[in-house]
Structure 1
Amino acid sequence: MNELGKIKQNSIVFLMVVILFILSIIFFVVPSFATDYVSSNFIIRDPVITVEGGRATSSSFIYFSSTGQTSVGSSTSTSFSAYDGFLYFTDISIPTLTATAGNAQASLSWSESTSTFGYVVTSYQVGQSTVSGGSYSYTDVGNVLSSTRSSLTNGTTYYFIIRVIDNQGDVIATSTESSVIPVASSVAPSGGGGGGGSSIDTVITAVKFSGMAYPLSKVTILKDGQIAVTTIAGPDAKFDVLLSGLSTGNYVFSVISEDDAQNRSSLFTFPIFISKGVTINVGGIFISPTINVDKEQVQQGENIAIFGKSVSNSEITILINSEHQFFEKVKTDNDGVYLYNFDTSPLELGEHYTKSKVVFKDQVSPFSKSVNFIVGNRTVLKNTKKLIGDLSNDFRVNIIDFSILVYWFDRFDYPQEFDLNSDNKIDLIDFSIMVYYWTG
């Protein structure tokens, strides 16, 4: 065979080898065992790669594997449910919509929607309707935080929502609805000739707050850090309260809620400028859950109870912060209570914290405040603050405690802790104190 023929034959052989190599990559999976995978931002030591999501363990490592997908959400079949990585556990804040009525117009402003990871917010859409709940006509207003809707009919109620759009053009969050009734500007009549007169200023300057907290929970509105008004949420966790008698100016309002165990939510805070004679509607407030734990310190490997309160029959996402973050999901019951017993075996010794957020009908709350705990070599129960008026020590103030106090009414030799105002007698004042701290 001449030299040219050898070169041609070698080229054909080399080409076949390359084709076989490419086909092996496409059609075959090469398993990897017991080695280190390193990049500039991660190291996986000694993994045994599993096809399914889950946790692989040995005496020297724990490896959490997952299956990724390009779409947001969960994959299901008759035999499994897959919640895929950060795409499923994204933290998208819901915009809080403020609507102010004007003459044939409505001025809208909303809080910025942010994501911890996963999504990129690129624009907002304003939905407008004359029927509560829609259907809405949508206008893309760009990546801005305010919009004025004009050419409206005075005296007609308009309903608005805000949709958050990501860089793929998908809707990733929606505010709750806020409504306004445009009105014509009123001009005060001038005084008639002939004598002096007096005028009464009947212009109302107010802010109306509405949203969701917890069933029958106390909701407090703070104005510039001071308590301005309180209300009680309904059995459906919804609240609606009007704060009037305000002057023109800038204010910082905060909303906070408290459950029947006196655990409080994180503050929901926003600034507002108020003009005289205007009532501003602040809708879509979604209070974060309350959260607490049953142990100050837990022995490694034992369970720690994480509990709190939010909207009834909603989904709670609990974050446990450690060297690796853990996300757990649990449902609230009909009273809005949730409880999750977390196995601390995967947690390293030391300080940790947990917090939670709630998802209800595509609405997502902010995260709750953080609660700290320690993983150590012994368990220390958390000291529970005794409720004032809890005479039966069942962590509630209700008809049982009332009956106990009735028995000791106007008697002597009563237990000293039953004298709620420490005036050396049990009288109507003690009953008033008990009613104030009533939990039911």
Structure 2
Amino acid sequence: MVFLIPDFVSAEISIGASLSSDNFRILDSQHSIFGGTASSSSSSFILRATVGDLAIGSSSITNFGLRSGFLYFPKVTAPILHTALKGNAEAFLSWTPASASQGFSVGGYNVCTKLTSGGTYSCQNVGNVIFYQKSSLTNNSDYTFKIETKDGVGNVVATSNEKSVTPVSSSIAEAANASTFNVATRNALTLTNSGGTTAVLDFPQNFYTQTVQLVANSFPNSYFASSKPAPSQKNFVGKTYDFNIFHPSTGDQISAISIPATITLSYSSSDVSGITESSLAPYRWGSSDSSWQLVSGATINTTNKTITFSTANFSSFAIFGTTAATPTPTPASSGGGGGGGGGSILATAAVEFGGFAYPSAVINFLKDGSNAGATTADSSGKFSFILSGLSAGGYNFGFWAQDKTGRRSVTFTKREILTSGSIAKVSNIVLPPTISLNKTSVNLGEQLTVSGSSVPDSQVRVSVVSEPKDYITKSLLNGDYSQVFSTIGLEKGIHTVKTKTEVLKTGDESIFSQLVTFGIGVAVPQKECSRDADINSDGKINLIDFSIMAYWWKRTVPEGSNVDLNCDGLLNLADFSILAFHWSG
């Protein structure tokens, strides 16, 4: 079939090789987009334009073969070599990913190296990566690097800019890592240092408006000593870090993200030798800063030796601590005079928490209703952390845990009065167990199984509130517990059950878990809210419960908090009405 196109239709052309057969030829193949002015012709016909392009590749019929269409030239965006750090006989290189189109793809990269003083590049295939640790270099020799991009069959199609590095045997980068993050999902990167300490960067979903590249580097604690000296009366603790974010297309550095990321830095026991561990705090030195800036709201886990904080700004980071005070000996009496020595005094208050949860549970901490950090319980369920840099005064602290299956406990709250220069200790915290049912609706006489996570090898009390009847079970070493009970003897309708933990080794008990609901012969309402007005679980509903609720008056309470008696997310008159109804005095 032949389509005739009026003469006013024209094409914008791209000249290429001739196409021909025994019966015709096209002198110049062309892309045909409306708006051009040229045409191609032979002695017997004229080609004004085509709609679409000749396909790439070969095709044939009985009378002729077309070996290729108009082959596209690849469109490639070259990588940008933005980071080159010196190491001990090595260099740490990272670059933005190249991109390709028009039928081509990026097949990998070559890292090319030469002596800056002269010589030619020697290129090494490193695969499809955006970070490489180039080794076997000579210290104190100046090297120049560039990155070559290869297509799918190994042809070099683009080359980056150059950067130079002089490897040295001291004050060097110790570890590095890089990754490109798709902001549509949660992302994390772990940097492992010599000696086994780590830096873990956890980015929430939609933390920025577009895909970014994170480059993380660590250094000895002496690396910044001259260029970025420690604050007065502070000491570097552990490794120091550069965390930088780049635009993957332009290589431009991004100094801040939209939603803060969580950074956890670990340190070793030797790192805090001679340091007051409770004084540890993270600091950041931004591109426009002239000194280290305290990152507030950090939590210290002295069991796991970690410090965790949140930040939306990226640059250089370090942990600092204060030298442990050495008591000054009391001078011998000499008949008069006065004065005495003493150790250093903490200018701010701190509080150290410790207690029990479930193995590998994530413990979340609240300070006056706001998130103050998180830590992870060890294999025995124990946890500890220090919250420092606080002003003197009263605080309401909250704790809740999430077990390995994702179930959450209720929030346990405790008020503490902190004094300037002191470290308050809150120990033997027992977080309430998590709880779930295998069914929410049963027939009369059927069995139900209640299960959850608790302190390992502890006693768990399962209370069917409407019976009332208690069952005693014991948690396993992994923290799991379960109890089967019969519904014989219960009435048709809605019932509730709750659990609490007793640590057998110490005798300490938790508050009760949240109430979970099941129906006998009836369906459970879709929205479930049934909480005990005994907020501090002392068996009474009195002024203590009232005072806890009063603090949260007209405030947004944490999700799952047991002070929100009607589960509407607020503390208001409706909750106090429920409290008053159950008042025991």
Which of the pair is proportionally richer in strand? 2
Higher relative contact order (CA 8 A, sep 6+): 1
Q: TM-score, normalised by structure 1?
A: 0.40
Q: If you compute each CA radius of gyration, which structure gives the higher value, 1 or 2?
A: 2
Which of the pair is proportionally richer in helix? 1
